Structure 1
Amino acid sequence: MNICFIKQVIGVLIGSFIFLSSANGQASKPVDTIQLKPVQVAPHTYFVQGFPAMGNSANQNFISNAGFVVTPKGVVVVDALGSPILAQKLIAEIKKITPQKVVALIVSHYHADHVYGLQEFKKIGAKIYAQGEGKNYLSSETAKKRLIASRIEFAPWINANTKLISADVWIDQKLKLSIGGMDFLISRVGPAHAPEDLMVYVPSEKVLFAGDLVFRGRIPFVGNADSKGWLLGLDEIEKFNPKIVIPGHGNYSVNPSEDIAFTRNYLKYLRESMSAAAINMDLFEDAYKQADWSEYEGMPLFKAANRMNAYNVYLSIQAE
């Protein structure tokens, strides 16, 4: 008798749960609280700044920057952000600023947090520019597996409808794009942070879009980067002598040399602290423990990224 009663109670509870779940279906859907607020950094140039965090469903993978320049003949955007919903929001913000259509989008590099929004710009007719090495990423198993994982990790913002988008124009080394009387000097600086790194300099604005060659306010993500090439890329940025640098992550810089120095010094220290162990085939663990990370350990993403960064530099030095 008691068993029957317990079953009845359980049945009522399950039925109530199903009813409440159906009646309040909206409650189970994630709340969209992410807002993009373009900041004007030059007469015709704006950017939006991502969070100094790891990407997740709550932040819609809004962890990187994107920027745009308004010309008399259309808008040029640099990077597409990390999910279609973010790209939609960026397009909406651009429309608030100008009636000009987005005519071009330049990809700084094919990392997920910069390109998962590309399909939204493709839909509105923007021509997409990227460096030719990006074709290797798009055809790789890594790209396919990363997207599959992202559809779970960042659901529902990245889902089965999110696609990898190829560029319309593949750049080799350099391209001068002229739109509405404004020049955009696009230069390859990879292999560096990525094999297909591009930077974009707008002479009339004295603004340089650095992509992930420059990080501000957080530990850089090194991944499988060519740290030696990355250091050379930072030198290339400074040759333009820009007044403003928009990094791939963090706030824009009005003191480029000073802020570029942060990324440069971090990469140099990674190489210095790992070099001897890598060359002598000593254990990575010992080299990592002996290094002095005090300058960086209080920064956002230190715990998430620094150890991996050091290990990847350790391996890359062995391969040089």
Structure 2
Amino acid sequence: MLRRSLYAGFFLVLAFTAHAEGFAGLKVAIQPKAIAPHTFFVQGLQGVASVANEGFNSNATFVVTDEGVVVIDVLGTPALGKALLSAIRHVTEKPVKRVILTHYHADHFYGLQAFKDAGAEIWAHRAAQEYLDGGEGARRLEQRSAELSKWVPAHMKLVRADRWLDGDATFTMGGIRFDIAYLGPAHSPEDLIVSVPSEGVVVSGDILSGGRIPFVGEADSKRWLATVDKLVALKPKILVPGHGGVTRDPGKDLTLTREYIAYLRTTMGKAVEDFTPFEEAYAKTDWRRFEKVPAFDAANRINAYGQYLVMERELLQKK
């Protein structure tokens, strides 16, 4: 039985807040919000993962079915994972049956151990194995542990999926259908989105960052633009991004993401074609269209340099 009530047309913040003082001294609040009859959303704080936000900068979603709970992404530290699981248990007594990872980036999967210990089955796309086996996962753990040593132990185990998907998948749990679509490589090689048609909800992972500048880096921006178009075509009533708030006007936020990535490609692509050094190109670029958008200061220079390198590679491939 759900420990909350919903009235038609209203989405209520749960009275419960997991301050999680028992979870490695966390002070951030894990506060689920009901966004559809069976779907709940936890919103991370602004900015990159830091001591100030205790690594809590990404979103998580969970759906309560008659049979059990399906969780999509599990936050960015083991302590946050425990706090999220505790918050879910204050919403429902039903077991967490499955976790779906949109992608294997630290801020979305470091909370996995708590769910693994609780008996949940973990699903992710097979392309993430390169991250885990190729050394990048270990390097990121070392870096994240140095930055967030209080919450990310250096010896932390990187939890692997129980089921590696090769592409799209569909399953039904407790009468609710879940459609998983592989849309990578875009933000990451393994990007998955999860649609819950009966709820009108699509969880996009970091393909969309709601109302803020996305972290693009050296992502395959050409494929990312095509992926955004696929998201638009789904026409979701509610779109849950990997960071930032839920949007009930997906077209607006998707347009921002599309225009920003396209601008990076255009400006950095021209600089590469003209043999303009990055520093000069960055200084000459007019960023006024985006500089007031949240996360611009933290992400834009990294994104521009990453896409400068991407456009160099694309130019070489044409020759």
State TM-score, norm by structure 1.
Answer: 0.88
CA–CA distance in 1 between the matches of 2:158 and 2:101? Answer: 13
Q: What residue number does 1:20 align with?
A: none
CA offset at residue 270 of structure 1? Answer: 0.8
Cα contact 1:57–1:157 (8 A) shared by 2: no
* Partner residue of 1:62 out of 56, 59, 73: 56
AA of the residue aligned to 2:69: V
3-state secondary structure, aligned to 2:215: coil
Deviation beyond 4 Å, 4+ runs, structure 1: none
CA offset at residue 81 of structure 1? Answer: 0.5
Q: What residue number does 2:270 align with?
A: 276
Rg (Cα) greater in structure: 1
* Partner residue of 1:156 out of 133, 150, 158: 150
3-state secondary structure, aligned to 1:163: coil
* Partner residue of 2:291 out of 290, 297, 304: 297
AA of the residue aligned to 1:180: G
3-state secondary structure, aligned to 1:137: helix
CA–CA distance in 1 between the matches of 2:182 and 2:52? Answer: 34
1:171 and 2:169 aligned: no
CA offset at residue 186 of structure 1? Answer: 0.4
Deviations, residues 177-235 of structure 1 (Å, cap 9, x unaligned): 21111111001101100000000001110100000000123221112211111111111
* Partner residue of 2:311 out of 301, 305, 317: 317
Identity, in percent, stands at 45
- Which moves more between the two structures, 211-220 or 292-301? 292-301
* Partner residue of 1:139 out of 133, 136, 141: 133
Superposed, which structure 2 residues align to 1:200-219 within 5 Å?
200-219=194-213
CA–CA distance in 2 between the matches of 1:33 and 1:245? Answer: 28
In structure 2, relative to structure 1, the CA distance for the partners of 1:101 and 1:31 (3 Å cut) is: closer
* Partner residue of 1:254 out of 233, 242, 248: 248
CA–CA distance in 1 between the matches of 2:41 and 2:134? Answer: 30
Which structure carries more helix by proportion?
1
Deviations, residues 153-195 of structure 1 (Å, cap 9, x unaligned): 1121111452211111111110002111111100110110000
**How many residue pairs end up in the alignment?**
291
CA–CA distance in 2 between the matches of 1:205 and 1:80? Answer: 20
Kindly report the root-mean-square deviation, in angstroms, between the aligned alpha carbons of the 2 structures: 1.3
Cα contact 2:184–2:191 (8 A) shared by 1: yes
Instruction: Mark the runs of 5 or more structure 2 residues left unpaired by the alignment.
Output: 1-23, 315-319
Deviations, residues 127-148 of structure 1 (Å, cap 9, x unaligned): 0000110011111212101112
CA offset at residue 31 of structure 1? Answer: 5.2
CA offset at residue 121 of structure 1? Answer: 0.7
CA–CA distance in 2 between the matches of 1:315 and 1:195? Answer: 17
CA–CA distance in 2 between the matches of 1:103 and 1:161? Answer: 27
CA–CA distance in 1 between the matches of 2:142 and 2:103? Answer: 20
CA–CA distance in 2 between the matches of 1:38 and 1:113? Answer: 18
AA of the residue aligned to 1:250: G
3-state secondary structure, aligned to 1:204: helix
Q: What residue number does 2:14 align with?
A: none
